[in-house]
Chain A
Amino acid sequence: MQLAIIDSGGANIASLRYAIDRLGVASELTTDPEKVRAASHVILPGVGAAADCMGRLQKIPGLVDTIRKLRQPMLGICVGMQLLFESSEEGEVPCLGLLPGRVRRFADRDDLPVPHMGWNQLEFEPGSPLLKDIQPGDHVYFVHSYSAPVSPLTVATATYGEQFSALVQSGNVFGAQFHPERSARIGSLLLRNFLQLQPTH
């Protein structure tokens, strides 16, 4: 296995790498399109603003195009997941467009602080390979102000005022709105499940 973690400049990269280390898997942090293309599995982490994150990817010649054409399992995390969609309300930025739809901000409500920060429960019908050994109702750690609406690509939801996509899947492309690298045992299971997906070159 060759895991490439795309260096999107986000603040969660160190913790993601340590989480992968704890699984006993080697990873390479890179922005080199060649290395990303050659990897068996790719993770796109992201923290901060979607526009900044997208801007950093676009600065590397060929990287965005490479990501769009990947056939191997790819997992976007947090803002990395949001970038998989067509666009985000955050900065009105066009994203990677690998998944249909638009990421939007949580509705402003007096009783619901934004960001949505903390441990929330996953709701899902079992079936996704990423959710193997994970139970509906298990808690994972979220930190975000924007989210993707529930759609046919949604494989798990969480609820914060409204239901939103906690985990999405379309072919080889996966997205987790929560932070598996900071979600204790459940997060570790999710990363393990992702790394066990068979590469489809």
Chain B
Amino acid sequence: MLAKRIIPCLDVRDGQVVKGVRFRDHVVVGDILELAQRYRDEGADELVFYDITASPDGRTVDRSWIRRIARILDIPFCVAGGIRSVADAEEVLGEGAEKVSINSPAIADPELINRLSARFGAQCVVIGIDSQTVEGVYQVYQFTGDPNRTRNTARKTLDWVREVQERGAGEIVLNCMASDGVRKGYDIAQLSAVRALCRVPLIASGGAGAKEHFASVFNEAKVDGALAASVFHTGALPIPDLKHYLRETAIEVRP
């Protein structure tokens, strides 16, 4: 049986792992290689490295660390942030990343999804979507790495989810912004709404604070993987404990 994936997300800024609350006030939580190795040893199924400053600053990611990660890591990892072209993606994948995740640049240039998918195959192309409810409608946000530039794109999230799949996305990470960093649980309602029209793997992001939150997002929103950061970085929820709990509640996970 296909296991549900537990995915620690390492927000990277200036070569270090940081974490903020609701995308603000970032504090350094550790060294990239050290954390990557630790999560791998603890049983993480995949890692996401997200350069939160890259897109808003209009600069590219410092990619020197990707190769160092790829040399030591024997589980898949995805790199997000600052990937705006086929050439950017080629570099990141060439260094050993399994997938690239595109967010703001896909909103600015949706054709980019088609080009990436045609060149590397859909399985390499993850679309990250930052979304929250505005007047009762789920809406897509852009440039969420920088509070001063964050803006509502006026795109409806459900429409965007349909479009990115048509264009060749191989996976969708839905980050529910209102839940992010506050550890009150995933936004089950929003994830379920997206699940209903998502035919590619769907990863939940934003809100994990306790092991029960993972069980509900797998059972109720039927997502394929759950992404979390602070709950892992702080040591509040060790991955072996989480996986043990999920197994006890009859959710299939990799030992």
Contact = CB atoms under 8 A, between A and B. Distances in A.
A110 to B, nearest CB: 8
Contact of B74 (A12, A113, A188): A188
B172 to A, nearest CB: 10
A2 interface: no
Interface stretch (A37-45, A114-122, A165-173): A114-122
A115 B74 contact: no
B123 A19 contact: no
Given A113-B200, A115-B170, A118-B5, A141 B76 contact: yes
Contacts of A119: 2-3, 5, 45, 254
Interface string A13-45: 011001101100000000000000000000000
Contacts of A116: 2
Interface stretch (B21-29, B56-64, B90-98, B230-238): B90-98
A106 to B, nearest CB: 11
Contacts of B198: 113
Interface in A115-145: 115-121, 139, 141, 143-145
Interface in A167-199: 179, 181-185, 187-188
A49 interface: yes
B201 A182 contact: no
Interface residues of A, number: 37
B130 interface: no
A78 to B, nearest CB: 9
Contacts of B254: 119, 139
A118 B2 contact: yes
B11 interface: no
A48 B4 CA distance: 24
A118 B70 contact: no
B123 A143 contact: yes
Contacts of A108: 199
B191 interface: no
B3 A118 contact: yes
B96 A14 contact: yes
Most buried by B among A15, A108, A110, A113: A113
A139 to B, nearest CB: 4
Contacts of B122: 115, 145
A47 interface: yes
A183 B3 contact: no
Interface in B199-243: 199-202, 224-225
B120 A113 contact: no
A47 B100 CA distance: 14
A72 to B, nearest CB: 25
A13 to B, nearest CB: 8
Nearest to A139: B254
B120 A160 contact: no
Contacts of A120: 1-3
B45 A118 contact: yes
A11 interface: yes
B147 interface: no
Interface string B158-184: 000000000000110000000000000
A7 to B, nearest CB: 12
Given A14-B67, A48-B124, A143-B123, 5 more contacts: A14-B94, A18-B96, A47-B123, A116-B2, A118-B225
